[in-house]
């Protein structure tokens, strides 16, 4: 694709998706997300947050793709990746998301749609995340390139709500691994 640069272990974005980027969903899942936005925005006090992928530092029985990698790799099992594992995301820690929501709640900005992801310093390919968790992991690669990845520019979240993500996935992985291996869940 002309929208990404390819490296040995990742694709890197040439541009970041802006909040006003025209969406043209191709899957049923993506179409239902867009339909839910239309329903939600019928309420006058709505802010729609379009998320990349979120993760928590704690164990969860379903977990995110990052949690599932940690569970599998901690057991010494091989992982299977598609697209050679080069597809990228910018994972967002739920504590950063909570900060954004706090800023939204004290603002008077409604009727907007904003993007939120982990930011430019958190862009990793699946393969890079696997190697951060377990450098010598056994990786089975299958499938063709179907998904290069995407990353947001978080422009409106910064402009309207004075927000930008601050938590780095690379800093949180050791805590996540410990919490997941001990099955330590967040207590409310």
- Secondary structure of the chain in HEC code, one letter for each residue: CCCEEECCCCEEECCCECCCCCCCCCCHHHHHHHHHHHHHCCCCCCEEEEECCEECCCCCCCCCHHHHHHHHHHCCCCEEEEHHHCCEECCEEHHHHHHHHHHHHCCCCCCEEEEECCCHHHCEEHHHHHHHHCCCCCEEEECCCCCCECCECCHHHHHHHCCCCCCCHHHHHHHHHHHHHCCCCCCC
Taking the C-alpha atoms of residue 159 and residue 110, their distance in angstroms, rounded to an integer, is: 14
For the residues 128-148, what does the mean pLDDT come to? 89
Q: What is the pLDDT of residue 1?
A: 54
Round the average pLDDT of the chain to a whole number and report it. Answer: 91
The residue with greater pLDDT, 102 or 41, is 102
Q: How confident is the model at residue 27 (pLDDT cuts 50, 70, 90)?
A: confident
Question: To the nearest whole percent, how much of the chain has pLDDT over 70?
Answer: 97
Taking the C-alpha atoms of residue 139 and residue 72, their distance in angstroms, rounded to an integer, is: 11
> Tokens 């990845």 — which residue?
149
For the residues 32-40, what does the mean pLDDT come to? 91
Please determine, for residue 145, whether its predicted confidence score (pLDDT) is greater than 60: yes
Question: Dihedral of the CA atoms 32, 34, 37, 42 (nearest 10)?
Answer: -90
pTM for this predicted structure: 0.90
Long-range contacts of 103-108 (CB under 8 A, 24+ apart): 103/161, 103/162, 103/163, 104/47, 104/49, 104/161, 107/160, 107/161
């Amino acid at each position: 694709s002309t929208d990404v640069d390819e490296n040995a272990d990742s694709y890197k974005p040439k541009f970041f998706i802006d909040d006003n980027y025209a969406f043209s969903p191709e899957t049923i899942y993506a179409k239902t997300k867009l339909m839910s936005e239309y329903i939600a925005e019928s309420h006058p006090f709505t802010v729609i947050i379009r998320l990349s992928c979120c993760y928590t530092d704690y164990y969860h029985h379903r977990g995110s793709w990052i949690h599932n990698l940690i569970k599998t790799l901690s057991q010494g099992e091989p992982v299977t990746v598609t697209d050679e594992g080069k597809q990228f995301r910018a994972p967002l820690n739920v504590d950063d998301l909570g900060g954004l929501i706090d800023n939204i709640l004290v603002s008077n900005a409604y009727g907007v749609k904003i993007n939120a992801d982990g930011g430019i310093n958190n862009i990793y390919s699946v393969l890079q995340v696997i190697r951060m968790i377990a450098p010598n992991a056994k990786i089975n690669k299958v499938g063709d390139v179907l998904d290069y990845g995407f990353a947001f520019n978080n422009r409106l979240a910064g402009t309207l709500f004075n927000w930008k993500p601050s938590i780095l996935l690379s800093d949180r992985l050791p805590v996540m691994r410990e919490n997941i291996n001990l099955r330590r869940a967040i207590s409310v």
